[in-house]
Amino acid sequence: MMRPANIVTAIADILAGAAIGASLSSVSWATSSPVSPIGPLAGGSGNGWLFPLLMLALATIGLYGGGVVLNDVFDAALDKKERPERPIPSGLISKTAAALFGILLLLGGILAAAFAGYPDLLSLSTLLAVLIALAAVAYDKWMKHHPFFGPLNMGVCRGLNLLLGMSLVAYAVSFYWFIALLPVIYIAAITMISRGEVHGGKKTTLYGAMALYIFVVLAIAAMAALNNTLPATLPFLLVFSLLIFPALQRAVKRPEGPMIGKAVKAGVVALILMDASLAASFSSLYVALVILLLFPLSYLLSRLFAVT
């Protein structure tokens, strides 16, 4: 129910956000040198960036996992008709148990974010975690089937997740908040595509998603150029493009459910490459390579577990 492959991509968001935040500070990824932390523990007690970063990774696992579990809870009646293989309609777990599990995951995610800034439990990270949880529930309960606000809402969840990673260096959020618009746009595009997974989609929708994809790629390239990191960023952007565009092009030619499903899966897994590209564009090549290492894991999990 938790979509393990997707959760790996959420961890990539945290690492990319942390890399962007670190570009504004003297954080050293090779040591535990603490600078501009989200709370006194990271900066005042000598524990450096490692503990808060681990807590933020745990937070996104809980928040993403809770969001997708509750998505299945709210969609249980519809899934009984369209996707009877899912855990709730198939009887693997009761709706009540799944709802409780989802709520506990969201609360655990918020708690982990709070501990990232310990002893300041009401840090920026905590606020962002609460906003992510609220946005996830809003999407699951009310926004999912709206043609505009549904994709936008889902994108906002991802944008906030990038900011959650960026909150490792709190003031970086006020400098680079606009970068969160890129995952908002990208995830909105994937959500638009996913509408046709069951009954097929419309070519106009798929072309619209392709335009958004192109915008994201060009925006990251532009940031890399401004940061003088374009040579290091281009390889990541190239692999990112090779993952998303061919699958989407095949869906455009045959806008049938299975082809669209493959395009969605490619788009979700490729999030890791987008995050690696963002990290590389902010001079964090080592972090970009670490993020890249998550790709085989996410891909393998996408073969074993459902992505949508």
Domain range for 193 is: 4-304
pLDDT digits (tens, 9 = 90+) for 174-204: 999 999 999 999 999 998 898 877 667 788 8
Please say if the pLDDT value at position 28 is more than 80.
no
b vs e for 126-148, b when ≥16 Cβ sit within 10 Å of the residue's Cβ? bbbbbbbbebbbebbeebbeeee
% of the chain exceeding 70 in pLDDT:
91
* Nearest residue to 20 (alpha-carbon basis) of 284, 265, 201: 284
Task: Determine the 3-state secondary structure of 75 from DSSP.
Answer: coil
The model's pTM = 0.91
Please say if the pLDDT value at position 52 is more than 80.
yes
Greatest mean pLDDT among 10-14, 29-33, 114-118, 196-200: 10-14
Average pLDDT value for the chain: 89
Stretch among 113-122, 202-211, 234-243, 262-271 having the lowest mean pLDDT:
113-122
pLDDT digits (tens, 9 = 90+) for 141-177: 999 888 889 889 999 999 999 999 999 988 899 999 9
Number of domains the chain is built from: 1
Quote the pLDDT of residue 32: 41
